[in-house]
Structure 1
């Protein structure tokens, strides 16, 4: 009896340091699967979001089971899909596409991934006022997760104000009491907040820096990241130097991968085993 085989891939820009392929392949091997996971790096291929359709067609023609989607394509991919899961539709972003029976079905596992990390890494953290940097695809998922986890007031900042407004409108349509607003004065918002979450790509190896100037931080804040390569970004380094509670992007990376593995394979993943494998790689 031949073993089940999975062919998956990650579409994104600047993803050469991603640990996702190794996590998927190791879990597949542990379950006796023939599991191959490829990087489809838009930077390496010198392609942009305008080429997503041809990449999807190529993946379907060559027998891919599914694709993970990361920056900058989590929202651009939506118009090219046949169906969306309820989570992906509500969030307005897709990070996982299952290719089956000629259809492209979009899912979002980022929301679950961040929520799991938040519960594990920042238990008991104050949630009255939180500042979120970024309103892109990952930011949409994280914002939903924050409100689901009990954040009362979420202030969103983005380099594109209209994108921040679109996310805020989406959140206020899904959560009672209009808990989200667009930020205009970062210093003031951080000064009133208990926590900060960075959902922008700033801090990645290819985009060094920090979205929040170090002088705005104070020891009472908790600070969370979704970037995990590197695991310690400049923002986390600045926050830890002050004694802030911090959460790196590792747990989100693992738990979004756990769910994506399950969507691709139709088998339950061992979250603890995938966590341990991730830690060995870092």
Structure 2
């Protein structure tokens, strides 16, 4: 009888200790300043969690913590160590995660992004990478070194860079663009238009954090510029490709859905001021 009581008491103490540790770590979230620091935060948080803790965190009031916790549930279906062959995260869990993201954030993900997440592969638990879309969403623009969505084109004349998509066009402010040492345009560009604004993502091939900006179409002034989290923060070399689709909503938000060879991510902003509403990266 005494042993039973002692075991029950110890179990309760462990649960309380685990809960206290999780709350202590969660309190550090608002102290994070840079995108790469989220990785350390989530690693320490999830190390303190069991399956029930992850389930509870996926209902956290913070959209980013809830989304990242939902993804961690997916990663648990992959072995920790390298195996003799490429792993596939549980397919049902992958579909569930996309549905979770869409439902939690009231957004429909782009077809290509949904496809690369659902088709994700892994070498081990902390090395999950995107699958293949049915069709690549980007093509080479008319400017050497610049890619953009297939329904758009980028042109440059006398250092004036114009982005066109269907019946919309905009001259992009020079301060938003990246150029090489010889002044050649060297970046990838994706835009989304509303009646009043143009949202612009300028990014590299590797999946690093990148700018997302809002331009007033009447004045051509930059309203705000923020940073999308990206999916890679380490060294990179070789040939890579990266895609970004911006999705404005009718209720004053805009989402950046991105992917690169290293991983995938999604970042939601307040369309009026660029403040982050949710951010997720499979490589945190």
Same fold (TM over 0.5): no
Larger RCO of the pair (alpha carbons < 8 Å, separation 6+):
1
Higher Cα Rg, which structure: 2
**Structure with more of its chain in helix, by fraction:** 1
After TM superposition, the score normalised by the length of structure 2 is 0.29
